[in-house]
Amino acid sequence: MEEIENNPKKRIRSHNKVFINQFGEKVYEFLCSVCGKEFKSKHSNALFCGTECRVASRKIFKKNCPTCGYEFMTQSQKQRFCSSGCVPKAKGKLTLRKHIQFCLTCGKEFITKYRTQRYCNRDCSCRRPRTTTAAPRIHRNTCANCGKEFESKNKNRYCSKECRSVTYKDRFNNDRFNNSVEEQSHNTKQKAYKYKYKYAHKLNCVSCGKEFENANKIVKFCSKECRKPKLTTPIRNCGYCNNEFVAKYEEHRFCSIGCFNSMPRPKKIPTYKNICLVCGKEIITTRKEQKYCNYDCFYKRQTEKNIHKNIYKLNCATCNKEFKNTNKNKKYCSQECRRKEKHIYTKNCETCGKEIITTRKEQKYCDYPCFCKREIEKIAKKIYKLNCETCNKEFEDANKNKKYCSKECRKREKNVYTKNCETCGKEFISYKKAQRYCSYSCSNKKSIY
């Protein structure tokens, strides 16, 4: 075993014992090529007892990359380069720029392809302490209006909104805009127009009468409160409980939501007033689309539309009334007359002989039991008398070719064989010539041996 441990390539593939499992499979015994323990396996080429021995048998080689000079560990003797990036450099197929930088943790020099790389290795990048949140940058500025110094995150010109508003108002009142509007471009004209007339329009509120300034001439109210409609009677009585309450809007009629929900509301069906297009009478209906007061008016309107069509006078086949229609072949004036004029047939039942009054030509029987009796009589005519081939008894059946009266007679007629089991030697009876074993267990034992 010492030769095997020192030279893992020279491994012996020989088994000590072979035996058969309960499932009929071969099992081999081996000695582990690393630890020398005995183990069992189904494979004939097994070498190791477990994963630990398999990993211990592998060799690890230390090498230096010929391009970058980095030491790396491998399991193959043929590997020369540390990574795929060093291979094309050595062959001369690809030329890359090299940047020399210093690691922030260990301070060593290293060569990289990227200028932004700060660490020589992943270990150094993990060791470096990093802050979770960066501190905000603060700027120190001086106010353009009052001259005070203040700190802010952005480069602001004014310390507060008051200083900003004062400077803008002074800019509007200056006369330099009036002199330079014609000389400036189109964009600067728009800015000057806004700055000049922003607070210039003086207006009076319609509701309270106060003066206020705004850039828009059309504005009528100074605030939202003045815009709301004023109530003539702010104190009202509730429509459900009759208690007094102060109403904010003209539409308010109830003091609370509970009174609004508890108020009974009768379900009203809406009615509409229309005028008949033919006679001009007023119509009170529940439909908006109703145009005619009567069917006669509707019929007159339709005849006026169908003047270009030929209208024929016809007689109904049932009631002999006259009616008009554009179709010559129409026979009935209404659906009721059509239903009355159905054909009626009188027949006799084929089984009991009773008279039948029906609207169908194909009906032959008065009811369902008469139909069943007739079918049974048809089947009884086709029954045959036969003799069994085994017991010679007489039996009746609708099939002429039937040979046996029952299943037992069919089984008796089959060929029966007596045989001896090949494993246990017992006698057994079977209906098959090829059967060799008395049971399924005997057949499994024979396959194992």
Which range (117-126, 157-166, 265-274) has the least confidence?
Answer: 265-274
**Nearest to 377, CA basis, from 402, 347, 351:** 351
Confidence label for 88 from pLDDT (cuts 50, 70 and 90): low
How far is C-alpha 95 from the chain's CA centre? 52
Q: How far apart, in whole angstroms, are the C-alpha atoms of residue 45 and residue 34?
A: 15
Contact predicate 128/114, CB 8 Å: no
Q: How far apart, in whole angstroms, are the C-alpha atoms of residue 387 and residue 367?
A: 39
Angle, helices 186-197 vs 161-173, to 10°: value is: 110
Contact predicate 421/438, CB 8 Å: yes
* The pLDDT value given to residue 7: 43
In terms of C-beta density within 10 A (0-12 exposed, 13-18 middle, 19 or more buried), how is residue 40 classed? middle
> Is residue 116 pLDDT above 60, yes or no?
yes
Contact predicate 99/115, CB 8 Å: yes
* The pLDDT value given to residue 93: 46
Mean pLDDT on 134-147? 78
* The pLDDT value given to residue 91: 58
> Is residue 289 pLDDT above 70, yes or no?
yes
pTM for the whole structure: 0.18
Task: Give me the count of residues in the chain.
Answer: 449
* The pLDDT value given to residue 14: 53
Instruction: List the Cα angle 203/206/212 in 5-degree steps.
Output: 30
Confidence label for 339 from pLDDT (cuts 50, 70 and 90): confident
Mean pLDDT on 33-39? 86
* The pLDDT value given to residue 111: 87
> Is residue 361 pLDDT above 50, yes or no?
yes
Mean pLDDT on 420-426? 88
Q: When comparing pLDDT for 250 and 429, which is higher?
A: 429
User: What's the pLDDT tens digit per position in 364-411?
Assistant: 888 888 888 887 777 666 778 889 888 888 888 878 888 888 878 877
User: What's the pLDDT tens digit per position in 159-202?
Assistant: 888 888 887 767 656 544 444 444 444 455 555 555 545 456 78
Distance (Å) of CA 177 to CA 91, 145, 173, 174, 196: 73, 20, 9, 7, 8
* The pLDDT value given to residue 96: 52
Q: When comparing pLDDT for 262 and 215, which is higher?
A: 262
pLDDT above 90 as % of the chain? 1
Quickly count: other Cβ atoms within 10 Å of residue 366's Cβ: 19
Confidence label for 8 from pLDDT (cuts 50, 70 and 90): very low
β-bridge partners, 127: none
Which range (132-141, 316-325, 372-381, 415-424) has the least confidence?
Answer: 132-141
* The pLDDT value given to residue 176: 47
* The pLDDT value given to residue 266: 67
